Amino acid sequence: MSSTSFYRLLTLGIVAGVLLWLGNGFVQTALFSAREVRPITPRGDLAAFETTAADLFQATAPSVVYIFTEQATRTVFGTERVGRGTGSGFIWDQAGHIITNNHVIASADRVFVRFDSGDTVTASVVGRAPDYDIAILKASVSAASLRPIPVGSSTDLRIGQAVFAIGNPFGLSRTLTTGIVSALGRTLPGQGGRDIEDVIQTDAAINPGNSGGPLLDSAGRLIGVNTAILSETGSYAGIGFAVPVDTVNRIVPQIITRGKPMRPGIGVSVAGEEIAGRMGVKGVILIEVVAGGPAARAGLSGVDRRTQRLGDVIVAVEGQPINTAGELSKRLEKIGIGNTATLTVERDGQRRQVTVDIVDIG
């Protein structure tokens, strides 16, 4: 074969290839375009974890409410009512008591609750516990229409177990997010100056508006009240916190009965751990002892205001060492109001034990 014939055949091959390549898209479109509704492919049953989440939401969502607030504000045109914020809550009992965060309603003078049915009512504030960021509302609605949330326990939680949050982030109602228990035993500062102990950390998405909503276990039981997030932007960053249900279940009856929780104490004011750290003191420094109170009756004394000399430092409760005011409060709560606690105190390098009554200082 001559070179001329070879190059002619090569050219024809290249041209044919180019034409085939250019026409392939046209042929593919002409032959395979779906010009009718495509048939649905059967999917089969949901996976077990999907069924758990779907069933949990269907069963629990009617117990979760949307909360929004108003406050009267003076303007050049007179007094106007402006929205102050939104949040979440859940039905506690068939008397119409609703649990939410105290910070959700803190600056409001009118509170509204919208139920899963879509009905919206004005709610009254029964009481608050700023130390735990908990508030209780009361809505006058039919008991038959209320579905109290099932209550679980937070004592037997395990890191890694599944959790579910239902709430109203950014005003988007009926939102379910899922995650795990990321850590246990966290401490958060309460609004009243006392730390909230045994806080649950979770990676379930919690955003502004989720505050006051329930954190649930896979059985659909309440295990915590979503209260805070750790984020530089104010939005979800994978770290959220919930007040443990055992704390909630203990203080809510007290708030319903008397408007505030009982606060176990011994009649002292104490220094912060920063001060103790700067002074190189291990324990809880007593700043002042209330005259006639349990600590005073037990012979304890605070800082001498004239000489600034340290008085007693509590270093243990019932033989268990403590270093912070939060640890002291936690130990007194566990012992309980009406009982006595044995304190190990130190003064001038000498240790002694004293017995002190625990009373309600709320």
**Residue showing tokens 């008991």:** 143
Q: Is 252 helix (H, G, I), strand (E, B) or coil?
A: helix
Active-site residue, from 88, 154, 173, 211: 211
Residue 231 neighbours by CB under 8 Å, 6+ apart: 237, 239
Give the integer Cα–Cα distance in Å for 211 and 206: 8
Q: Which pair of tokens denotes residue 350?
A: 């000498």
List the one residue out of 95, 136, 92, 140 whose CA is nearest residue 260. 136
Q: Is 119 among the residues known to form the active site?
A: no
Taking only Cα atoms into account, the Rg of the chain, rounded to an integer number of angstroms, comes to 31
Active-site residue, from 88, 131, 133, 182: 133
H helix or E strand, kind and range, residue 126? strand 120-129
Beta strands in the chain (DSSP E): 64-75, 78-91, 97-100, 110-114, 120-129, 134-139, 162-167, 175-189, 195-202, 214-216, 222-229, 240-244, 264-265, 268-270, 284-289, 313-317, 320-321, 340-347, 350-357, 359-360
**Is-contact 303 286, C-beta < 8 A?**
yes
Long-range CB pairs of 73-82 (<8 Å, 24+ gap) are 81/110
Give the integer Cα–Cα distance in Å for 149 and 168: 17
Active-site residue, from 93, 103, 246, 301: 103
Beta bridge partners of 314: 284, 345
Q: Is 97 among the residues known to form the active site?
A: no
Q: Which pair of tokens denotes residue 263?
A: 């606060």
Residues annotated as part of the active site: 103, 133, 211
